[in-house]
Amino acid sequence: MESTISVETLQHAWLLDLAVAPSLPMNRRLYLLLRQSILIGNIKIGAKLPATRQLAKALGIARNTVIYAFELLQAEGFLNGQTGDGTYVADVSFFTQQLSNQQAAVGHPQFSQRGMQIIGDTQLVPRIQSQTHAFIPGIPSVKDFPLDKWIKTLNQVVRRYEPDWMGYVREGGVAELKMALCQHLRLTRALNCEPEQIIVTAGTQQSLDLLIRSLTDHDDLAWIEDPGYNGARSAMRASGVFPCPVPVDEEGLYWEGESALPVPKLIYITPSHQYPLGSVMSLARRQALLQYAYQNNCWILEDDYDSEFRYAGPPLTALQGLDQQGRVIYMGTFSKVMFPGLQLGYLVAPKSLVSGLMKVQSRLYREGQYLVQAALAQFIDQGLFAAHIRRMKSIYAERQSLLKETLSNELKQEARWLGGSAGLHLVIALPNTVDDVALSQDLLRDHIIAPALSTYYTGEVRQKGLMLGYAAVTQEDMPLVVKLLAKHLSNYLDKVCS
Ligand SMILES: Cc1ncc(COP(=O)(O)O)c(C=O)c1O
């Protein structure tokens, strides 16, 4: 037996809605209120609604307002209207069932196993705790970015906005940017490339995802440096690819002598500035790795995320520039040289892969940000990009020295540093008896973010330590944050020495 929903019940709900809901036109408001009440079961399936005239009077609104809401709900199938007989709630049990399933799932999020793995691998930097930016790895000093020049460039480009930029262009990015990048990469990184080999992406993370999806199948295997970049590991897992950890020493990736390492489909490396240890891959290892890739038909994904900031001379030649058989795919990002919020990057692929990769890109993510890409091209062409890199290089070099110097003054024990020839972070090495995860958590309580080196390993933890991103820590903030760092470090080092 259907019940009749009382005018008083609706009156009560209406008054509550008026008190809390944002201001909306009355007819829309009533429609939403009735729909929601039906969906959550406050108005039951089969219930009879009051007549429009009666309801309008009770709610103090025009009858037309009620008629609008009823008609829309009828058109959408929530109500059945039978002239002369009244208006009834339709059988929407499908929706109410979904809602109760969803409520039952609260507290048990239905993530897939790979979703759970990625979530487990990811630590988001708490915003409040990072006001001094000490010592978040991978963050450039955005305060020193020449925002005025960038805005001026954007404004100039807006004035010559091209109709093409408003549509779906499927050419792997704006031609001017590919041209400017190609010149920049040939000059500064000795890359062997033509503009048509460049595909502009929404950053390295997207380049990785695009390449892994396009070049591997589920259950394939990829080599990843250990310790290594968790973002690459997550991209592999997201495609069902198994990340096989390969150790790293002061010459970079080493696999010889590592018995029975399976042949991978692809190899992910950071040869110019190993992430996180900071080592530079030696020429001998580069040659050996290329040789291995040629013999075994593997792709090498070269992540060159921050080598523009090399302190001892110009940036080193990229591995791509040494490749004679088109096995290396180079990935760059503007997240460090410009600012992370830009989220633009690029890859340089062998010619045989370019058109296929562009198709996958256009199907899975689309291109876009053409205006920003064109502005970036102008920024590079006018020399503003190179000038910014030059200026930041000297600021970062100063901050790195200040960190080392201040810490050695504050710390009773001798600090052992890893890396530092390039990039935005250093590693302070710790004895393997130190619990670097607990130390990192203690530092967090003092608003210092210094991830434990252990968390970058998937295999055996060969070196304990802390990652210290110094680039965004100003000269003024440095003494105070280093004091805090030294206090915690000393506590832990004292414990293991005593
Ligand atoms: C090793 C490494 N590669 C690449 C990136 C940049 O990724 P994206 O371009 O997606 O910002 C980062 C950022 O932290 C990184 O640490």
Q: What is the DSSP string of 160-211?
A: T--GGGGS---SSS-HHHHHHHHHHHHHHH-----GGGEEEESSHHHHHHHH
**Greatest mean pLDDT among 44-53, 130-139, 162-171:** 44-53
Query: Which numbered atom of ligand 1 lies nearest the CA of 303?
Result: 3
Whether residue 111 lies inside any domain: the answer is no
The domain that holds 401 is classified in CATH as 3.90.1150.10
228 and 215 share one domain: yes
Provide mean pLDDT across the span 189-195.
96
For residue 172, the model assigns a pLDDT of: 95
Query: Which numbered atom of ligand 1 lies nearest the CA of 206?
Result: 10
For residue 110, the model assigns a pLDDT of: 81
For residue 368, the model assigns a pLDDT of: 87
157 and 60 share one domain: no
362 and 486 share one domain: no
pTM for the full predicted model: 0.86
Kindly report the length of the chain.
498
For residue 164, the model assigns a pLDDT of: 87
Query: Which numbered atom of ligand 1 lies nearest the CA of 334?
Result: 9
The 10s digit of each residue's pLDDT in 271-298 is 999 999 999 999 999 999 999 999 999 9
For residue 468, the model assigns a pLDDT of: 97
pLDDT of residue 472 exceeding 90, the answer is: yes
Provide mean pLDDT across the span 469-482.
95
Grouping H, G, I as helix, E, B as strand and the rest as coil, residue 473 is: coil
For residue 227, the model assigns a pLDDT of: 97
Query: Mean pLDDT, the chain, as a whole number?
Result: 92
Distance CA 328, CA 332 (A): 13
328 and 189 share one domain: yes
27 and 165 share one domain: no
pLDDT of residue 322 exceeding 60, the answer is: yes
Of 382, 407, 422, the position where a domain reaches its end is 382
Q: Are strands 242-249 and 221-226 parallel, antiparallel or unpaired?
A: parallel
362 and 452 share one domain: no
For residue 139, the model assigns a pLDDT of: 92
For residue 123, the model assigns a pLDDT of: 77
Q: How far is CA 427 from CA 143, 230, 336, 451, 474, in A?
A: 24, 16, 18, 10, 19
Higher model confidence: residue 268 or residue 317?
268
39 and 160 share one domain: no
The 10s digit of each residue's pLDDT in 90-145 is 998 887 777 666 665 555 568 888 888 888 888 776 665 667 889 999 999 999 99
48 and 93 share one domain: yes
Protein residue closest via CA to atom 2 of ligand 1 = 305
Provide mean pLDDT across the span 307-328.
91
CA of 220 to the centre of ligand 1 (A): 23
The structural domain count of the chain equals 3
For residue 107, the model assigns a pLDDT of: 54
Domain that holds residue 348: 146-382
Longest dimension (CA), the chain: 91
342 and 245 share one domain: yes
Radius of gyration from C-alpha coordinates of the chain: 30
- pLDDT above 70 covers a percentage of the chain that reads 94
Whether residue 110 lies inside any domain: the answer is no
Mutational pocket test of ligand 1: of 124, 226, 307, 333, the residue with most ligand atoms within 8 Å of the beta carbon: 333
The domain that holds 67 is classified in CATH as 1.10.10.10
Ligand 1 site, residue 333, Cβ cutoff 6 A: yes
For residue 2, the model assigns a pLDDT of: 59
40 and 189 share one domain: no
pLDDT of residue 63 exceeding 80, the answer is: yes
185 and 285 share one domain: yes
Mutational pocket test of ligand 1: of 305, 306, 347, 424, the residue with most ligand atoms within 8 Å of the beta carbon: 305
41 and 152 share one domain: no
Which of 18-32, 116-130, 197-211, 463-477 is the least confident region? 116-130
Distance CA 261, CA 255 (A): 7
